[in-house]
Structure 1
Amino acid sequence: MKTIKGPAIFLAQFMGDEPPFNSLDSICAYMASLGYKGVQIPTWENRLIDLEKAANSKAYCDELKGKVAEHGLAITELSTHLQGQLVAVHPVYDAMFDGFAPEEVRNNPKARTAWAVQQLKWAAQASRNMGIDASVSFSGALLWPFMYPWPQRPAGLTEMGFGELAKRWKPILDVYDEQGVDLCYELHPGEDIHDGDSFEAFLEALGGHSRCCINYDPSHFVLQCMDYVQFIDFYHERIKAFHVKDAEFNPTGKQGVYGGFQPWLKRAGRFRSLGDGDVDFRAIFSKLSEYDYDSWAVLEWECCIKSPEQGAAEGAPFIQGHIIEVTAKAFDDFAGGAADDAQNRQILGL
């Protein structure tokens, strides 16, 4: 067994215009002071990284890693969640997702997709330049408007949708393979791959691509009423990244998993700061350790009640307290002895 790395934190939800959240140096100093050992970098945030430069210059990547290391931190993964979303956008969402892209490609879905694809490829190259073996992203969605089968979905619609999704992602995944980097999709409502079955459909359409992996986030499974611990049994070989995020599900006589179009505060299913929700992290950390997951445990803070500052401050000791220093020996080794075939035959009466 292997020991999980951490605690680490995803910086996307903390960036802002005021210090200490407005620059790489100041936010790293802040997170290090709270006890974090790693940071996950959102690559769309140009105050943290120049992605094109990182893809083309190992010297720049070494400099970036050095700045982070000055605070006793490591870069855990590069995130391309927003760019990944734009690899596949159903037209009904065009206007809402345009804000994820630069001005020059807005109102132009083909140009926006091409921009997103290039971003993903740069992230693969940048990850290799930084010596990072995994990156995290979203899949985007063509089928999400048809998630609930009413009216009945036409025969072949889902197969065509996953086929097209795979067609767009395979050339990207091939670049990740060339760079020796796993691309870890966060299985998330709003994405075509949001649970185990949809991940399998995508993986099948990709021909089982070796770099198609999972960023495990149990909070999204709580909101879908899934068995998030058994999920690890099914997919542990593909889990290469881990978002530590909490959630709760409190259905009522008025509302369930779909949320009744209510804001986050009033939804039956909502994200919470670590320890404030329903997720059994002791079971998760035990299960991941059992399967030799040895990458990072990364806090993704999202909460509709608690402040990000409090969530971050509480998150580092919470994760540290759940990391298991795995044993190198069996607890009953003291009572054992060396192998002796003659004795074993005698014990068995042979």
Structure 2
Amino acid sequence: MASTMKGAGIFLAQFAGDTAPFDTLGGIAAWAAGLGYDAVQIPTFDSRLFDLEQAATSQAYCDEVKGTCADAGVAISELSTHLQGQLVAVHPAYDLAFDAFAPARVHGDPAARQEWAVDQMLKAARAARNLGVDTTVSFSGSLAFPYLYPWPQRPPGLVDEAFAELARRWRPILDAYENEGVDIGFELHPGEDLFDGTTYERFVAATGNHDRALINYDPSHFLLQQLDYLGFIDLYHDRICAFHVKDAEFNPTARQGVYSGYADWTGRAARFRSLGDGQVDFAGIFSRLCQYGYNGHAVLEWECCLKSSEHGAAEGAPFIRRHIIKATDKAFDDFAGGDADPAKVRKMLGMSA
């Protein structure tokens, strides 16, 4: 059944900083509300805005966080655990790069880093419940992504084992979220082992079709893969629990295509843009999500290779509000209808009364 989205949200991760108003939750929430956003998606990995340790153990702290947001005029749409989820599974090729996402005490120790990440994920489940938030968004991490392109040939069983291990690591986390009544919306993203519908299905099957392994829908990553992002909603709408509104463009040339030749962001054929500046069909997306009953927030995730973050944020809320469809509660041709009359129906069909 069609439904109306809750409103425009904004993911705070790309806007947090060391100067006011971006260095405190109260300050950045008030800034977001002033731009017209109804909700904020809070990064649990940024201590300037949120203390995950306290949130997991203190209802009083969570009440304070909710009060801070309410006083600013915004709700909490979701908690984000993208960086911690990334560290649940890290291929050794990425060890040095991803150490930056974890505390210094676990750098150079992949096992300790993974243990820390799992603990963070479990704490986020409790924090969400303490906040009264039913949804979190995250990354899956990656064991197989370095072998994405099948050359050199992958040995038989490599991908199957990678997803089996990924499921073994995530299943206890998903069970903990089930116990708290909280969903994880995985953002399907290149660099993660879950980056499209096929990989998502493989992972969900490996977890025993876990009810809490859902999707944070972000069309920008699908456009850059040249995936049918509207058809994706048709296939997986019942698994979409969160929505990142992010634009992108793909402009292949004689020199580069999807892989973009290691170019920087401005020089890539495939690049992220601010809302309305790219190629994503948001009218089609909002229509389909309305049709299938998505009733969460539409959350701006700003990433643009050209436009400033504050400019993008200022344009984002009105762009989202223009696209949210207020679902109808009646059919357009109801005026021409009449009361049910079984005898008349049978007569119209050429059947005896």
* TM-score for both structures, normalised by structure 1: 0.99
Matched residue, 1:294: 295
1:39 positional shift: 0.2
Moved over 4 A (4+): none
Structure-2 residue corresponding to 1:110: 111
1:187 deviates by 0.2
Q: Which amino acid aligns with 1:77?
A: E
Partner of 2:337: 336
TM-aligned CA deviation for residue 48 of structure 1: 1.1
State the 1:349 CA deviation: 2.2
Superposed displacement of residue 342, structure 1? 1.2
Q: Distance in 2 between matches of 1:60 and 1:2?
A: 33
Matched to 2:205, the amino acid is E
2:25 alignment partner in structure 1? 24
User: Match for residue 14 of structure 1?
Assistant: 15
| Corresponding residue of 1:54 | 55
* Whole-angstrom distance in 2 between the partners of 1:305 and 1:232: 29
The reply on whether 1:162 has 2:198 as its aligned counterpart is no
Following superposition, the deviation at residue 10 of structure 1 comes to 0.1
Q: Is 1:124 aligned to 2:125, yes or no?
A: yes
* Aligned-partner Cα distance in 2 for 1:213–1:73: 25
Q: Which amino acid aligns with 2:23?
A: N
- In the alignment, structure 1 segments of 5+ residues that lack a partner are none
What is the distance in 2 between the residues matched to 1:332 and 1:22? 53
Aligned counterpart, 2:232: 231
| CA-based RMSD | 0.6
Equivalents in 2 of 1:345, 1:92: separation in Å? 70
- Quote how far apart the aligned CAs of 1:337 are: 0.8
Partner Cα distance (1:300, 1:49) in 2: 18
Q: Does 1:314 align with 2:315?
A: yes
The alignment partner of 1:70 has SS state of helix
Paired with 1:189 and 1:97, the residues of 2 have a C-alpha distance of 15
Question: How many angstroms does 1:20 deviate by?
Answer: 1.5
Query: Offset of 1:158 from its aligned partner?
Result: 0.2
Match of 1:198 in 2: 199
Q: Distance in 2 between matches of 1:348 and 1:183?
A: 50
Partner of 1:285: 286
2:247 maps to what in 1?
A: 246
TM-score, normalization by structure 2: 0.98
Displacement, 1:29? 1.1
1:199-229 per-residue CA deviation (whole Å, 9 max, x = no partner) reads 0111111110110000000000010000000
Cα distance in structure 1, aligned partners of 2:131 and 2:24: 19
Pairwise CA distance, 1:47: 1.3
CA deviation map 1:255-297 (0-9, x unaligned): 0011101000000000000000000000000000110000110
Cα distance in 2 for residues equivalent to 1:10 and 1:194: 20
Deviations 1:57-95 (A, max 9, x none): 222111100100001100110000000000000011100
Task: Return the alpha-carbon distance in structure 2 between the equivalents of residues 314 and 48 of structure 1.
Answer: 23
Cα distance in structure 1, aligned partners of 2:50 and 2:16: 13
Aligned mates of 1:133, 1:215 — CA distance in 2? 13
Q: Which amino acid aligns with 1:347?
A: M
2-structure distance, mates of 1:207, 1:318: 39
SS in 2 for 1:202: helix
**Residue aligned with 2:266, SS:** helix
Q: Does 1:4 align with 2:2?
A: no
Aligned to 1:270: 271
Task: Letter of the 2:297 partner, please give it.
Answer: W
For these two proteins, the number of residue pairs brought into alignment is: 350
